[in-house]
Structure 1
């Protein structure tokens, strides 16, 4: 992972932010939060998405801190599952969302249901991303 100019590791910042976000979501909004990682244990992204899918999560948040050589670099990026047909975006969506993205082998009913679920999640994710960017 990335390191700051002073040697702070991205993974240490991320876990502190994630725990703080969990506290806010649980205490203020009464959400049930499942952490895929609570310490310095590495969990591959595909396994994190499996945990989320097994728990029937309504939301999957992955917190990262970018690194840049320019000290003037600042801001945030927010990504979510979308309808992009860009090859790289589709690969990222498949990797990030695991079983949510269905294959062409599914029967027609499963494809329709998957499309409805995906559309709902895209809309919800888009609204959340907008709120994150505004705040």
Structure 2
């Protein structure tokens, strides 16, 4: 349910008041908002694929058995692929687009960003 103009204005006023009264809390909340994003499903899928390929290579290295050097190299390669897959799953890709960092633009409020996201989702469905 979308907020009315009056409700959006009240929330903007509350944000401004919070920034004026306790700037450190407001900055902490903005930082937490940026860091609490979930990893993208594409990165999670790629990470799972790399993990499975890595485990398969490790098992292949154990199954080869006739060459110790080949087995060790396959084991190390498989382990590296698995670790790469896990780190890919757990990290958040891409830089956060920070409007405040770019010169000449004003910092948008939390509710404005949420409203923009809502509009993009709504426009994408029709």
TM over 0.5: no
Q: Which protein shows a greater Rg?
A: 2
Instruction: Please give the range of the TM-score, normalised by the shorter of the 2 chains.
Output: under 0.3
Higher helix share: 2
